[in-house]
């Protein structure tokens, strides 16, 4: 029997989801949460994917954890990165929110066959990264007053801001999102969360 890993947690008691049979696996001085799967169980199973999504949400209700990208199976246990414990302690009371913005003017994606080198293709790909209206970006950062924010271009059609905020401010940030909708009615965006530590799980980038 193996476990499909969901997250990395500070305390054993952080892993408890009623009726969803979530395992707690010792992981050095931390803990992994996981769902029991049988050998050979297809990870693309729709019900399994939706179950993991539900477990993620319920675990976050209990305590902040570091999210593990879907698809990791244990054992074997992965190597522990030393910064994870510090990240979990520092962000015990924090969660992430995501603001996904459709590009102001999406650009056509380059075709690989039009380039003789991979480097030239990557440069062209980078040049097509989506951009958002500067005034919207500034307003979003001001409105959320986050502990930290990170912007990244997802592709040629969208970019997103991850915001690290205290749990106590989730409703306030959602309300700020409603204000942004009124102030920027022509900018299509989606504010979602709270999420576990995903973007801010890497202490080196904070």
Partner 1 sequence: MSDEEELSLLETLDHLLDRGVVISGEAVISIGDVDLLYLGLNIVLANVDAIIRTSNKR
Residues within the interface to partner 1 (CB under 8 A)? 5, 7-8, 42-44, 49, 52-53, 56, 66-73, 78-79, 81, 84, 98, 100, 102, 154-155, 157-158, 181, 185, 188-190, 192, 195-196, 198-199, 201-202
Contacts of 23 (CB under 8 A, 6+ apart): 3, 15, 33, 34, 35, 36
What is the nearest approach in angstroms of partner 1 to the Cβ of residue 74?
8
> How far, rounded to the nearest angstrom, does the alpha carbon of residue 79 sit from its chain's CA centroid?
21
Residue 108 tokens read as 């056509």
End-to-end CA distance of the chain: 37
What is the nearest approach in angstroms of partner 1 to the Cβ of residue 122?
15
The C-alpha atoms of residue 167 and residue 119 are separated, in whole angstroms, by 42
Closest to partner 1 by CB, 96 or 143: 96
Closest to partner 1 by CB, 116 or 206: 206
DSSP per-residue codes, 134-193 = HHHHHHHHHHH--SEEEEEE-SSSEEEEEEEEEGGGHHHHHHHHHHHHHH-TTS-EEEEE
Q: Select from 189, 187, 155 the least CA-distant residue to 174.
A: 189
Closest to partner 1 by CB, 75 or 117: 75
Closest to partner 1 by CB, 67 or 116: 67
What is the nearest approach in angstroms of partner 1 to the Cβ of residue 199?
7
Q: Which residue has the tokens 């959320």?
A: 144
What is the nearest approach in angstroms of partner 1 to the Cβ of residue 3?
12
Closest to partner 1 by CB, 42 or 116: 42
What is the nearest approach in angstroms of partner 1 to the Cβ of residue 38?
16
What is the nearest approach in angstroms of partner 1 to the Cβ of residue 186?
9
Closest to partner 1 by CB, 161 or 199: 199
């Amino acid at each position: 029997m193996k476990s499909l890993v969901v997250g990395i947690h500070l305390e054993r008691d952080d892993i408890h989801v009623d009726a969803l049979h979530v395992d707690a696996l010792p992981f050095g001085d931390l803990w992994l949460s996981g769902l029991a799967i049988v050998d050979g169980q297809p990870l693309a199973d729709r019900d399994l994917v939706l179950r993991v999504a539900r477990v993620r949400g319920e675990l976050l209700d209990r305590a902040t954890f570091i999210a593990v990208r879907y698809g990791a199976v244990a054992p074997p246990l992965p190597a522990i990165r030393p910064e994870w414990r510090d990240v979990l302690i520092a962000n015990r009371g924090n969660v992430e929110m995501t603001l996904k913005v459709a590009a102001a003017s999406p650009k056509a994606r380059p075709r690989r066959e039009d380039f003789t080198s991979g480097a030239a293709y990557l440069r062209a790909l980078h040049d097509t990264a989506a951009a958002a209206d500067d005034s919207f970006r500034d307003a979003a950062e001001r409105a959320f007053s986050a502990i930290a924010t990170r912007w990244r271009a997802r592709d040629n059609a969208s970019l997103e801001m991850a915001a690290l905020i205290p749990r106590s401010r989730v409703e306030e940030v959602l309300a700020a999102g409603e204000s942004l909708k009124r102030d920027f009615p022509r900018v299509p965006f989606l504010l979602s969360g709270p999420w576990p530590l995903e973007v801010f799980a890497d202490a080196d980038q904070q």
